[in-house]
Structure 1
């Protein structure tokens, strides 16, 4: 198995804000416990169908990297947090896939139209300011017939939702913009993407505000020419 060297853009060296550094400091250790408790299997199942040229938006510190199959020809990882991009660079050193790390914004992806076979996102849409715009960008960069593989924590039922509404202002400050009460499904169904499958799961964590999960696939309508 041949390993690849990570390619990074010049903006990877940009200075992280205090909030970004703090989040990148505690998030990996917290989520590592969740991964061991079963989140890793959810990621594995989500990404098993990825193939061709793949874009992951909001790659974080790279928990998804070990789960991309050999059917992926090229992997582009977009991450706006410079501290996370540095962590990604180290994790990519032993990855057996051609991959590169880029700075970027999910609201304005710096790629041509219809340039990816698959776009993936894991626990990202809680923190984007404009989910509708970000989903429109996912649609734009996917090739016709291309798939969006999503994996997001969402607002729960009435009681849990009320709790999430209550804690969201604090959670946004502590977790670099994370909104516990994000209604991701509503945004997805209102987007130009077509939902092909969706499962309602539970994140294996004691934190009550992020346990409801939706995992599934949406498709850009049309066929590749």
Structure 2
């Protein structure tokens, strides 16, 4: 990655907090361990998945290339517009291989990237197009975030909630780790209406198998409205080049009350 990348190397210590030893890169040089930093997350679990499953490896093989084509078709403009509103200490969940990285402002205090798929984390760590800000890559679970309450100014998610087993719980976790007034920037495909919604319902079982748990028919907007967030801005649009079953898209901002 670019300057100031920090990559987590977990130390699993029995009966102790999960600890990350963060090696820094500065102007292309890895400085270890002299300038290493240690950050402790008391709520973290000691057991982490370090080896990708077969499904995760297969997903990591085709998904980045597919989404790169979608980005070139216009999706990158959606990301750029959305992420321009990020500020302060920012958390992105489900960052994948990092297509969002070039679109973040270069004045963030810190960018924390959470990705549970080890194969995608490996790809993420090789990127060199992040802004010149402190960037930390972490393993983790969006349903049980390993951060204290009110730890971030901004949280972001891009095409993530379709794959979460309990999206309502994940929304609650994002609300918890945001500071009062903090913003959640979302960018998610949603269930359509009429025939499109019916097609999505029929396609979802196969979609889940092929796309690492993705639900083509997830009603993210209703989940967000039922959460503790206050939706302050929402736009309904379509995803460039995407198949009709998952074309509908919502992009917007919600605020922690």
Q: TM-score, normalised by structure 1?
A: 0.94
Deviations 1:134-167 (A, max 9, x none): 0000100000000000000000011100000001
Residues 219 and 206 of structure 1, relative CA distance in 2, 3 Å threshold: closer
CA distance in 1, matches of 2:195, 2:129: 44
Give the number of aligned pairs.
Answer: 220
Residue 9 of structure 1 aligns to a residue whose secondary structure is strand
Deviations 1:91-118 (A, max 9, x none): 1576412101101111000000000000
Q: TM-score, normalised by structure 2?
A: 0.83
Runs of 4 or more, structure 1, over 6 Å off, are none
* Aligned positions of 1:154-173 closer than 5 A: 154-173=190-209
CA distance in 2, matches of 1:220, 1:141: 10
Residues 149 and 206 of structure 1, relative CA distance in 2, 3 Å threshold: closer
CA distance in 2, matches of 1:180, 1:170: 9
How far apart are residue 84 of structure 1 and its match?
Answer: 0.7
Residue 14 of structure 1 aligns to a residue whose secondary structure is coil
State yes or no: 1:149 paired with 2:203. no
Structure-2 residue corresponding to 1:4? 4
Residues 161 and 51 of structure 1, relative CA distance in 2, 3 Å threshold: same
* Aligned positions of 1:53-68 closer than 5 A: 53-68=89-104
CA distance in 2, matches of 1:80, 1:3: 23
**Which has the larger helix fraction?**
1
Deviations 1:196-216 (A, max 9, x none): 000001000141122110000
Higher RCO, 1 vs 2 (CA within 8 Å, ≥6 residues apart): 1
Residue 109 of structure 1 aligns to a residue whose secondary structure is coil
State yes or no: 1:194 paired with 2:206. no
C-alpha RMSD of the superposition: 1.5
**Which has the larger strand fraction?**
2
Residue 38 of structure 1 aligns to a residue whose secondary structure is helix
Deviations 1:108-137 (A, max 9, x none): 000000000000000000000111100000
State yes or no: 1:76 paired with 2:144. no
How far apart are residue 13 of structure 1 and its match?
Answer: 8.2
State yes or no: 1:174 paired with 2:210. yes
CA distance in 2, matches of 1:94, 1:151: 20
CA distance in 1, matches of 2:238, 2:63: 19
Q: Do the aligned residues in 2 keep the contact of 1:4 with 1:95 (CA within 8 Å)? A: no
Structure 2 unaligned residues grouped into runs of 5+: 12-47
How far apart are residue 71 of structure 1 and its match?
Answer: 2.5
Residues 38 and 172 of structure 1, relative CA distance in 2, 3 Å threshold: same
CA distance in 1, matches of 2:214, 2:70: 17
